[in-house]
Amino acid sequence: MQIANRATGKHPLARFCFLATPFLISALCLLSSGCHRLESQANITICNANEPESLDPHIVTGISEMRITKALFDGLTKLEPRHATPIPALAERWDTSPDGRTYTFHLRTNAVWSTGEPITSDDVVWSWFRALSPATAGDYAGQLFYIKGAEDWNSGRITNATEVGVRALDAKTVQVELNSPLAFFLELCSFPTLAVVPRHVIEQNGDRWLHAKPLPTSGAFTLGAWRVNDKVRLLRNPLYWDADNTASEIIDVLPTGSPNTALNLYERGVADIVWDKDLVPTELMDVLTKRPDFHSFTYLGTYFYRFNVTKPPFNDPRVRRAFALATDKNRIIAKLTKGAERPAWHFVPEGVANYTAPSAPGFNPETARKYLAEAGYPAGKGFPRVTYTFFSAAGGGGKLHGKVGIELQQMWKDVLGVDVELRQIERKVFYSQQSKLDYDISTSSWIGDYNDANTFLDLFTSTSGNNRTGWKNSRYDALIKEANLQTDLQKRAENFRRAETILITDEPPIVPLYFYAGFNYFDPQKIGGIWQNILDEHPMQYIYKVGPCEGGEARALRGK
């Protein structure tokens, strides 16, 4: 199957329309030899939650970092801004074999690095092998395991790279052979783990490659500056293959420590967009929801807690089921979140394409006490002191994590008679300890990487880098694998449902609490190029400040 070139997605005059605003003098200055974009005022300023831990697309795991890396590094595809569906990026088109297992991607002839060198098929292949390499230690390496031989190469079971199903046929053609047809493969090709990065710079600079000057990028922007705890400055890449449709010259992304700080920056006009659900003050939710610049939407995300199942008492599924049934999800929403969240009776959110999830049992104190007694702890007697770990408020949503912890602590005491200690730690330490299984119970959340049940359910396969529970179940693994071999959507969904029942009912290593609602704020009379979608996907390439020629409305990017 051939895919035609993507639609441009915005009016070609939008960027120049913006330059007719009061920033005209600054913009003209940018074009002169006497000025530099690093000292200029940004066109758009965004509050984006945490300070990035990295901007390496092959190792980032957080949404706030991924927003930036997607602006810097393209993949073969990217997600369009209206519906978050995949469209051509570095690949201008692709062919698919009749059995759906082989994709042949044709790179754009005008795809070049921001420093001018051509982007080749060898760059794509090398980048994917880097993401797959254990030396890179990316949590998302498993995104490539759908490629023939990739998992075996990652694990060391094979060492010959030619046995892995990705190869350069010529300078502008990449062929990918999958283990089986994959419904969401084109979505995966847009994910940061599969982004194309500059081999020559990484090999020369090693772990400090992001400090290279100039830093070659493959995306719509280059990295103008990264000032820790201040801002990341993105500069329009004039050599980008789609540069004519990049709507802003300069975007500043601010790491923001708290919801109140973000709101203050926005109200003072320092920030144009507040772009993270954790940057909305829950105590002001009732007021904010009435504002025209506050936006809420259905979002593919689940808030949950996870158990470390490698040691007592949570190595016993009966104990885990007891804690799950002693958790009143409705109470948490009513008392704490105060938004449009819904209780999570399953892990995969509602709204995922081609899937309806099974439901786990709800709040049931009597059965919870029964399971705990069967595990040897009647009325909580003899139960060891365990710890519920969450990260601190510097992460933006840390205050809510603590409140949820307090509520859970009280529920488990009231229903089960057990004592749970609360432990708050710094965000980086939190994720490090979670990866090392240095916890008992831990707060967690997951936002879908693409609109498919697999992006949630494959987290807890035995080999997933995001599992972080120590839980392994061969039947679960087999069901996920079988689901992804299916071309029949009904049979695929049924395999996923059986797997999810194991995950949330039979042997729960996790307990879903609620489904996220997405929240952000920006004034649509002033900011254009943003559409609400289920993945909260808003490519920075298309975002712009509405100028006088827009008549106060964001018309240019609406396809009118």
Question: Cis before residue 192, ω within 30 degrees of 0?
Answer: no
Q: Is 179 exposed, middle or buried (0-12, 13-18, 19+ CB in 10 A)?
A: middle
pLDDT band at 394 (very low <50, low <70, confident <90, very high): very low
Highest-confidence segment of 332-336, 525-529, 530-534: 525-529
Region label for 156, one of left (φ > 0), alpha (ψ between -120 and 50) or beta (otherwise) = left
DSSP 136-197: T--TTGGGGTTBTTHHHHHHTS---GGGSSEEEEETTEEEEEBSS--TTHHHHTTSGGG---
Instruction: Indicate the pTM of the whole model.
Output: 0.81
pLDDT at 32 over 60: no
Whether residues 509 and 528 fall in one domain: no
Whether residues 339 and 442 fall in one domain: yes
Whether residues 53 and 132 fall in one domain: yes
Condensed to tens digits (0 to 9), the pLDDT of residues 456-473 reads 999 999 989 899 999 999
Number of domains in the chain: 2
Whether residues 477 and 387 fall in one domain: yes
Whether residues 429 and 408 fall in one domain: yes
Whether residues 500 and 454 fall in one domain: yes
> Does 484 reside within a domain?
yes
For residues 548 and 22, the answer to whether their CB atoms sit within 8 Å is no
3-state helix, strand, coil split of the chain in percent (to 5) is 35, 20, 45
Whether residues 536 and 510 fall in one domain: no
Pairing of strands 102-107, 91-96: antiparallel
Average pLDDT over every residue of 234-254: 98
| Sequence-ordered list of residues with C-beta below 8 angstroms from that of 27, at least 6 positions apart, any chain | 19, 249
Q: What is the pLDDT of residue 37?
A: 56
Condensed to tens digits (0 to 9), the pLDDT of residues 539-551 reads 999 999 997 544 3
Q: Residue 532: give its domain's CATH number.
A: 3.40.190.10
> Does 273 reside within a domain?
no
| Residues constituting the chain | 560
> Does 279 reside within a domain?
no
Structure token pair of residue 303: 């808030």
Q: How far apart are CA 51 and CA 302, in angstroms?
A: 23
> Does 289 reside within a domain?
no
Q: Residue 370: give its domain's CATH number.
A: 3.10.105.10
Segments of 367-509 assigned E as strands: 386-391, 420-425, 441-447
Q: How far apart are CA 15 and CA 11, in angstroms?
A: 9
Whether residues 417 and 531 fall in one domain: no
> Does 73 reside within a domain?
yes
In angstroms, the Cα distances linking 450 to 192, 262, 278, 532, 533 are 12, 27, 20, 15, 12
Whether residues 441 and 330 fall in one domain: yes
Whether residues 255 and 303 fall in one domain: no
Which of 225, 190, 273 shows the shortest CA–CA distance to 524?
A: 273
> Does 469 reside within a domain?
yes
> Does 9 reside within a domain?
no
Condensed to tens digits (0 to 9), the pLDDT of residues 99-125 reads 999 999 999 999 999 999 999 999 999
Residue 93: beta bridge partners?
A: 106
Q: HSE on the CB side for 247, CA within 13 Å? A: 25
Whether residues 383 and 504 fall in one domain: yes
Domain that holds residue 187: 14-259+522-550
Min mean pLDDT across 216-220, 420-424, 529-533 is at 529-533
Average pLDDT over every residue of 430-456: 95
